[in-house]
Structure 1
Amino acid sequence: MSAAEPKKRIKDDAKDVALLDGRVEAILQTGVTYISSDQATHRYDFGWNDPNLTCCRSASAILHGMFSTHSLSYVQACTRYVGAAIAEGRRAGRPMEMLGLVDIAEWPARHGLATWPFLPAVLSRWTESGLPGLEPELIAFLTGPEAFEERYEGQYFALVANDPERGALTEQELRSVRDGVNRAFEEGGIDLSEWALVWFLIATGVRPVQIARMRRGDVIVTSGPEGNEITLAIPLAKGEQQVGTARWKRKCPSVLADVLLRYLWGPGDQSHPDACLFFERSDEIQNRIHSIFRRVKTWSDRLGGPVPIFPYRFRYTLGTRAIALGATDHEAARLLTHRSTSCVHYYRAALPTLQKPIADAIGPEMGFIASVFQGRPIDTLQEATRKGQPGAVIRDFAHLVGQKLGACGTMAKCHHDAPRACLTCHKFEPLRGAPWEQFLQVLEEDLESETEDRIRLITEEQIDAVRAIIIERDAHARAVQ
């Protein structure tokens, strides 16, 4: 064999690709290529690529196409993990003409959840391209993972938990959704039934098919020592080919109870208890949610744009938050209306690698203002939106002996929750000169003595809001000096 023959074989094995920066580089189809940037040297190993296999040919084509749209380091990671999935399948004895769900179902256990986002990035492009090599079941999982709940003993959840577009919502995103929905309802962008539907999903995390099976009579209102109390009779969802009669009763969260009472007892509403609660079919619920969030403004810090919303995201969020707050497997299973705990330990396993706290690009102090406090600080009540109107002033009588803390920018009659509920309301107009450090100390003392996790979370939000007000006040003072 002459010295020229290996060089010719290498040349025949290479394919020219255009990079994101405009350069053209030759990439070996079945070997290792190194490409240098001003930051590092990147290694692309296509040793797993067998041109005789449909799966490999399509995967290679997709990855080569990504060089012109993504960074060198990102394509390097995608190449590594797609190659690992195919290579592991071949070592397990699979023919690998088609990549299947079985090849990725155990991915987090083998590679860790942090590596998972690179795989769907490639597989989604693969699906959209129409290239062969993906089994139908895997395509179905990529386009609707929620349909795989309780299959594969729950691994599906570990795969989607960290997906920023389909997985559990971060605290910042959930707050943005809540505030956006409330603002849209207040301004007439969505109607009462749409507002109630979103809050039902946020508070319960139930599947659309369960909501579709609910009747108005499943919202049970009883009189209690503190007013009306609501119990929800949630239909179980499994055994889909028939409408089941089995229901689990659950106490309705207080914030949802207020919304449901307003929805069900609206002016002139005489609906029969057997009438559907919202819609008869689950696809109607999903379509309405998509319609609502085309009109509701939301923001995700980690995505740098609107929060992608579909009904199951609230379910994933509720499950992870329940585990994070100390719920047992059985408690979390009942909350999610699972008949067994088989899925729940995957929720628990996913927690250590759930999204990290958001680091705002303009600094942590301004991040507080952007994500927690959304009101409009003022120096005097003469600057208030409703200056001089009765009921506009917000005071704290419990701790600060009636001192003025700010003003209410709306006519909402919710002063019985003031001033704490005001702190996270976008209509609150706090006075910069109010005794915020003193009020902060009160909240911190309450947090230390509180044992109920739900109340602790609410108090922590209020503490963050007060800190944001203090930060804004001090920044304003420096700016006017």
Structure 2
Amino acid sequence: MSPDLGHLLRTYVCDLEVKAKSLIPISNFDLDMLPLFPSWAKIDIHIKENGCSSMNEYLETDLFHATADHLRDILNKVISHIGLVSERTGEPIKIFPLRLRRTLASRAAREGYGLLIIARLLDHADTQSAHIYTENTPEHLTSLDKALAMQLAPIAQAFAGTLVIHEKYANRGNEISSRIMNRDTGEGVGTCGTHSFCSALAPIACYTCYHFQPWLDGPHEAILESLITKRKEILARTQDKTIASVNDRTIFAVSQVVELCNERKLALKNCNSGVSDE
């Protein structure tokens, strides 16, 4: 957790305590048992109907906890207000309580916590379900620059498409609607080989799609440098390697395309040189 996020969380908890003390005499309940996301409406109704004498008894249950639906509504309002958009789809990111639970467990596994801790975090009765999060937990790199990305790209094998020398050789290469453009510069990057509807955010999401046909002369290196720069900025701002590494697989895919382009250009150069010598 970053210091900024920790400060916000602590401030939120303090505000909860202040509000709880204003509603309930401190001697009538254990403050540490207060839900992190309480339903104040339920608490208010309980106090009006039953008084404060039985607060601790009910705090041991889920009675005063906000429901998943209520939390989802709050999350959606926050996402809408701040305009948080998915880099993969270009649409408002979909956030819901279950997704946050899975993220919590996945991050705990990546950071080396065992089955018992993960099960406890998820409030599970046993460790059976926790195995899902520990079986496949690739470590995120704290630092990833262009040179390292180029070295790791062949191992990652993130690029799933087919490199084409020219747009005209691509599947659907004669259709203007199939062109994939760099949103920042307006340059052509490649061709989409499918007629199916796609909601992914081009061109970033395309590099890991098997329908993608990058052009040999596309601005792949510029896109790679942009992704690397953005990664560094996110890491510097959040101090969170998990958030910063969200596009690492795409970075590896773009790196692989850059390497394939370099190899193909060299091969074409040697071929042309051989023809000239003859």
- Please indicate the TM-score interval, normalised by the length of the shorter structure: 0.3 to 0.5
Q: Which has the larger radius of gyration?
A: 1
TM-score, normalised to structure 2, is 0.47
Q: Which gives a bigger RCO, structure 1 or 2 (Cα 8 Å, sep 6+)?
A: 2
Which is richer in helix?
2
- The structure where strand makes up a greater share of residues is 1
